[in-house]
Amino acid sequence: MEAFTTHTGTAVPLRRSNVDTDQIIPAVWLKQVSRTGFEKGLFAAWREDPTFVLNDPAYEGGTILVSGPDFGTGSSREHAVWALQQYGFRVVIAARFGDIFRNNSTKMGLLPVVLPAEKVEGLQAAVEADPKLEVTVDLAVRQVRWADEVVPFEIDDYTRWRLMEGLDDIGLTLRHADDITAYENGRQPWLPTTV
Amino acid sequence: MGSIAHQQEEIMGRTLAEKVWEQHVVRRAEGEPDLLYIDLHLIHEVTSPQAFDGLRLAGRKVRRPDLTIATEDHNVPTVLGPIADPVSKTQVETLRKNAAEFGIRLHPMGDAGQGVVHIIGPQFGLTQPGMTIVCGDSHTSTHGAFGGIAFGIGTSEVEHVLATQTLPAYRPKTMAIEVSGELPVGVTAKDLILAIIAKIGTGGGQGYIVEYRGEAVRKLSMEGRMTICNMSIEAGARAGMIAPDETTFAYLKGRPHAPEGEAWDQAVEYWKSLRTDDDAVFDKVVEIDASTLTPYVTWGTNPGQGLPLGETVPSPESFDDPVARAAAERALEYMGLTAGTPLREIEVDTVFVGSCTNGRIEDLRSAAEILRGRQVRTRTLIVPGSMMVKRQAEQEGLHEVFKAAGAEWREAGCSMCLGMNPDTLKPGERSASTSNRNFEGRQGKGGRTHLVSPQVAAATAVTGRLTAPADL
């Protein structure tokens, strides 16, 4: 996973709530067996509308998506994270996220940032007023900064450390292989196996 | 979690979720998520190929193929014959190769054990009380109906479970949904969960494991309980659970992977301890009175946008919250609906009975009861959730009822719930669907979905507009 420390870029305001993962990447794109090429499917249905924000040249090159609440609800498809990253996004900011999407993001190095609804709204308005506004998302000090605004955000220490180091979870867990074996030796005897 | 919190929990009593969680902690360290053991890992073709690729790249093996089971469900056609779509075909073939390479039991298309992943686990008796169960699918919450912690994961976590049989995770907060009273006749588990989601919203359960409790829940069959837990994710909760009881034990007894003899007695004794202590405290409590409910239907594009069937399409102005108002406006536009229209006057083109929400035998029986001796006016797909459900339905003659009514009797799979196979809506088409998501384009690009119970779906098929069985 790509490490994330601090990122400065321009933002894209997505003024919609309940952006479910079926909208982020429709099911037809889930038939692929590779991990690449999903940027073409990002918001596929909405992008057919010429007025959709990603079709607005003013926001071209934006790397920070600023969405309405409940972003990434619904299906567990990690393809939603891959699509956002492969399109060029490094950060998604919203007041609330679907739990599975948020979890998937931190496994891949896409930073989900929860800000209060009024701050999200303020950032969207600021970006709409000036699409070239520089926005900095600083994981080291847990802040989002734009213009004169400095807004703190919360993220647990462990996830922050893992993101900043770009560490792979499996490698970390395998350091505790002995604990896993010990646990397995004490499992309840009636638990089923699939064989 | 610190030692003080621990002591407090012992004094205060624990919730069901806390008991199951604690039983599965492999390792706990200050400032880190718990390392949680996973008792059962379910796999399907859509969210697993990249995980197996990851294992191969890193030279890792599957730690416990004997705690892993795979099936083909999302892409499979529900008419007999091979998969026509070459991309779907490749995905299914990839699962077969991966299962063979890593030694994982697979139920492929045509196999008597094939079916929707969340239907087959319970049917085999692999889903048992007190277990931790994961799958690369958000509706894994279904399995919580047996009193375990079951939740959906992404592909990175699928790879993690394959490699380690564990997951690092923080314990979610706990929420009790207390359902008092009794469901009136004609009102089902589906109506109850749609009412709950409408009440707490699609984000209401974020960060929580929900335990459904109360008289109405206790009286539900295992099928009904699975319907409830299945849609926990639509309220934002990763997991939903119901304490095991005699209904649970009776469902499990004699199933292929259920314990037998002395092990059964031992297991039941343990399972009986899996209930929230009387003095345990939930982080949040929501109350709902089942006796006031009537059949529910969604009118919008998220599962929280639901109302009793007797209501009218709401006006966006009726929402105080500007975000909800904007969402309603957009939903009405997408759904092609006008505020004030009675929901009963909405005409549909297609009825779908099936999915991991409502594709079990009890669902098919209740749809058949309504269709018996009647004719459908819409395209009506009846898709059993598994080949075992299909076989049982045919033994009971339900397929003859469906066919006589003019409905299509199909093979098992996810089908029109998400339209990854050829069963889709065309742009502008409208369905009454027993599935779980009414998202834009979920059942096919431009398709419009109304979520309903199997009974409402069957009655709707008869009249061609949203209808409760009592209206017939």
Structural domains present in chain B: 16-284 (3.30.499.10), 296-471 (3.30.499.10)
Q: What is the mean pLDDT of residues B262-276?
A: 98
Number of inter-chain CB pairs under 8 A, A vs B: 205
Report residue B150 as tokens.
């079951």
| pLDDT confidence bin for A168, thresholds 50/70/90 | confident
CB-based contact A179 B69, cutoff 8 Å: no
pLDDT score at B11:
66
Residue A16 reports pLDDT greater than 50: yes
**B chain contacts of residue A192, beta-carbon cutoff 8 Å:** 40, 125-126, 128, 257-259
| pLDDT confidence bin for B4, thresholds 50/70/90 | very low
A158/chain B closest Cα distance in angstroms: 6
Residue B9 reports pLDDT greater than 80: no
**Domains along chain A?**
9-135 (3.20.19.10)
Residue B472 reports pLDDT greater than 90: yes
CB-based contact B47 A77, cutoff 8 Å: yes
pLDDT score at B12:
81
Residue A159 reports pLDDT greater than 60: yes
Residue B6 reports pLDDT greater than 60: no
Of B68, B69, B91, the CB nearest to A33: B91
A51: exposed, middle or buried (Cβ count in 10 Å: 0-12, 13-18, 19+) = exposed
Helix pair angle (B155-164, B49-58), 10° resolution: 50
Residue A149 reports pLDDT greater than 70: yes
CB-based contact B66 A35, cutoff 8 Å: no
pLDDT score at B10:
54
Q: Which of residues 121 through 150 in chain A touch B, CB cutoff 8 A?
A: none
State the Cα–Cα distance between residues A161 and B437, nearest whole angstrom: 36
State the greatest distance between any 2 C-alpha atoms of chain B, in Å, as a whole number: 65
State the Cα–Cα distance between residues B204 and B195, nearest whole angstrom: 13
**B chain contacts of residue A163, beta-carbon cutoff 8 Å:** none
pLDDT score at A129:
98
Quick: pLDDT tens for B164-179.
Answer: 999 999 999 999 999 9
Report residue B314 as tokens.
């709401």
Q: What's the mean pLDDT when you consider all of chain B?
A: 96
Quick: pLDDT tens for A74-131.
Answer: 999 999 999 999 999 999 999 999 999 999 999 999 999 999 999 999 999 999 999 9
Q: What is the mean pLDDT of residues B248-258?
A: 98
pLDDT score at B385:
98
Residue B125 reports pLDDT greater than 80: yes
State the Cα–Cα distance between residues B392 and B379, nearest whole angstrom: 24
Residue B320 reports pLDDT greater than 50: yes
A22/chain B closest Cα distance in angstroms: 7
pTM: 0.96
Quick: pLDDT tens for B352-395.
Answer: 999 999 999 999 999 999 999 999 999 999 999 999 999 999 99
| pLDDT confidence bin for B1, thresholds 50/70/90 | very low
**By percentage, how much of chain A surpasses pLDDT 70?**
100
Amino acid in the structure at residue B209: I
| pLDDT confidence bin for B2, thresholds 50/70/90 | very low
Q: What is the ipTM of this complex?
A: 0.96
Give the SS3 label for residue A118.
Answer: helix
| pLDDT confidence bin for B110, thresholds 50/70/90 | very high
Q: What is the mean pLDDT of residues B186-200?
A: 97
DSSP-based helix, strand, coil % in chain A, nearest 5: 40, 15, 45
